[in-house]
């Protein structure tokens, strides 16, 4: 596993963004882990999060001209990513949407930079793909081109069919979806850490069972 992936998982666990136990998903499944990016809720953790996104995006080689964060969770993610890239010497525009269009002042549903060129969508996870679909429509309506989606964690979990939500987005919109980490990375990290944290053996076993029941391949 790449060093930054392990570092991200350590960071998420330390921040209690990534929790282990038994959690009910929207699909009614009992998941042995839970990821809540909303708990990256202070300046220091948001700064680090933006840096992890930037590292994953740089490693992917995806070309883009601007960043878009779908409301609401995507808004601070897009801002933190823009700041992380600026620290690297790359000044990128970023935008986000309102849930309801504004009919006064500047009006419209897009806040921030004008959408133009190739736009990278940034979100925490993809569950049903709803925010991606809305983002793609907004970006295209503005005359720009959605070119990819960056997320924090790819659960690699089947939706209603045989594909995961991430695979469905890639299929339906022809967009690459990159995650800082995915479920394979999490399982590998836990397996490596067992020497120091033997109490994670039950967690790893539960994740492997869950992956066997609901998981998809790459």
**Which pTM was predicted?**
0.92
What pLDDT was estimated at residue 218? 64
What pLDDT was estimated at residue 102? 55
What sign does the CA torsion over 68, 122, 159, 59 have? Answer: positive
Distance in angstroms (rounded) separating the CA atoms of residues 48 and 25: 27
Q: Write down all domains in the chain, each with its CATH number in brackets.
A: 3-214 (3.40.50.2020)
pLDDT band at residue 14 under the 50/70/90 scheme: very high
Q: List, by residue number, the catalytic residues.
A: 102, 104
- Pick the range with the lowest mean pLDDT from 20-24, 90-94, 127-131: 127-131
pLDDT band at residue 103 under the 50/70/90 scheme: low
Cis before 72? omega within 30: yes
What pLDDT was estimated at residue 1? 64
pLDDT band at residue 131 under the 50/70/90 scheme: confident
What pLDDT was estimated at residue 165? 87
């Amino acid at each position: 596993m790449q060093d930054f992936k392990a570092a991200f998982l350590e960071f998420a666990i330390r921040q209690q963004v990534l929790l282990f136990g038994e959690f009910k998903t929207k699909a009614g499944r009992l998941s042995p882990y839970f990821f809540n990016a909303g708990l990256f809720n202070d300046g220091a953790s948001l700064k680090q999060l933006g840096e992890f996104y930037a590292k994953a995006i740089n490693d992917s080689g995806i070309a883009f001209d601007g960043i878009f964060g779908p409301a609401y969770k995507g808004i601070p993610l897009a801002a933190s990513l823009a700041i992380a890239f600026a620290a690297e010497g790359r000044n990128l525009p970023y935008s986000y949407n309102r849930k309801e269009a504004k009919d006064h002042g500047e009006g419209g549903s897009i806040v921030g930079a004008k959408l133009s060129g190739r736009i990278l969508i940034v979100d925490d996870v993809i569950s049903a793909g709803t925010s991606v679909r809305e983002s793609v429509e907004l970006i295209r309506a503005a005359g720009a081109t959605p070119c990819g989606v960056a997320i924090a964690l790819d659960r690699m979990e089947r939706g209603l069919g045989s594909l995961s939500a991430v695979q469905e987005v890639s299929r339906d919109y022809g967009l690459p979806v990159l995650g800082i980490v995915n479920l394979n990375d999490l399982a590998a990290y836990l397996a490596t850490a067992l020497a120091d944290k033997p109490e994670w053996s039950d967690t790893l076993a539960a994740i492997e069972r869950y992956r066997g029941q609901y998981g998809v391949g790459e």
